[in-house]
Amino acid sequence: DGGITQSPKYLFRKEGQNVTLSCEQNLNHDAMYWYRQDPGQGLRLIYYSQIVNDFQKGDIAEGYSVSREKKESFPLTVTSAQKNPTAFYLCASGGYTFGSGTRLTVV
């Protein structure tokens, strides 16, 4: 089945640690996106990539980093510089197809 796979579904991180969220798609889409969802704030764009080896900052890129070495994969690293990382993270490809999300909690 074609789709977007995000893993893990739940992730716990200690303060000061970096953590990487996985996003893989087999839809042959060029464009991939990372959004963050917080209660009452809707979705906000973190980073996006329109082609392999290229990516751009979204509206809230500080404290995050990405790579796009393969068309199928667009991992997101939440660094220790991100001051409030606890949130639900959603990956999308092709503009409007979403994965099932990763809920990150800092403990």
Partner 1 sequence: AQSVSQHNHHVILSEAASLELGCNYSYGGTVNLFWYVQYPGQHLQLLLKYFSGDPLVKGIKGFEAEFIKSKFSFNLRKPSVQWSDTAEYFCAVNAGNNRKLIWGLGTSLAVNP
Alpha carbon 104 to chain centroid, angstroms = 11
CB of 88 to partner 1, least distance (A): 9
CB of 89 to partner 1, least distance (A): 11
Report d(CA 38, CA 93) in Å as an integer.
20
Alpha carbon 60 to chain centroid, angstroms = 12
CB of 99 to partner 1, least distance (A): 7
Q: Name which of 27 and 81 has its Cβ closer to partner 1.
A: 27
Report d(CA 66, CA 77) in Å as an integer.
6
Q: Which residues bind to partner 1, rule: CB under 8 A?
A: 31, 33, 35, 40-45, 48, 50, 56, 58, 90, 92, 94-101
